[in-house]
Amino acid sequence: MRVRVDVEADVPSLSWDDVHGPARGVVYELLSSHDADLARTLHDEGWKGQSLKPLGATSPQFRGARRTKGVYTTSADGSLWFGSPEPRIASALVAALSTRTEIRWGAARLRVRGVALDVAVPPTSGMVELATLTPVIVKHDSRYVLPGDPHYLDRLHHNLTHKADLLGLPAPADLHVVEAGPRRRFTVRGAPRIGAQVRVAMEADGRFVEALRSWGLGLDTVQGFGWIK
C-alpha cells in the first residue's frame, strides 16, 4: 500500500542534509504514534526474523519549485510518499497520517494539505519496467556502486531476491538497466549515500512488482531512496 501526502513547506529551501536525513526518523515516529510495539520491533529486529525492513518513503518532492543551482528549493505544491507491502505496517502508516496536520522534516515544517492512497492498476506477471523517483542505493564490499559499474546488477538482483524471499514470492529474473540518471550524493546522519535514479526491466511476478511499488529498489528505502514512480 502506498500513501501520498500533499504538503506545503514553511521555508523556501531545505538544507542538503535535510533532503533525505529526516526520513527514517519521520517514518518511525509515525509508526510509533500508532503502534509503538511495531515500531520498536522493526527498528530493533527487522521483520519475520530478518534484518530487512519492508518500508519505503521519499524525500519531499516539490512541483513548480524555482530551480536554483546548489539549492533544494521548495514550493507550496509538495508531496511525500510512504508505503509498505506488509498490511500491518501499511495500516499503521495510514492511521498515523490520517490525523496529521503537520510533519516536521528537519528544520522545516510541512503543512499537510491532504492524504490519499496511491492506487494503481495491479500489474500482471511478465516483463515489466520500473522507474524510480529517488536515487537507488547499491553497495558492494561496503562501497557504493552505480549503474554500469561491476557488480551493480548482481547486488541489485541480490537485494530484490532477498525481498522476494521475505515476502514469500518468486524472485525476479533477467534484470537489466534500461536507463540511468546522473550520480547523486546526499548526506544522511553525517555519512554519504551515493546512487542514481534508474529505469530497470525484469521478468517478475505481478505480486512482487506490486510489493516493490510500496517498498522500493535497493538499500535504505526507509531513508527515502529507491522509491518507484
> For the chain, which domains are there?
2-117 (3.30.70.1890), 126-223 (3.30.70.1900)
**180: amino acid identity, one letter:** A
CA pair distance 105, 136, nearest whole angstrom: 21
pLDDT of residue 94: 96
In degrees, rounded to 5, the angle at the alpha carbon of residue 153 between the alpha carbons of residues 152 and 156 is: 85
Averages of pLDDT over runs of 10 residues in the chain (229 residues) are: 96 95 97 96 93 96 86 94 97 95 96 90 86 98 96 97 97 97 93 97 96 97 97
pLDDT of residue 68: 82
Question: Minimal CA–CA distance to 51: which of 176, 156, 163?
Answer: 163
Q: What is the largest CA-CA distance in the chain?
A: 46
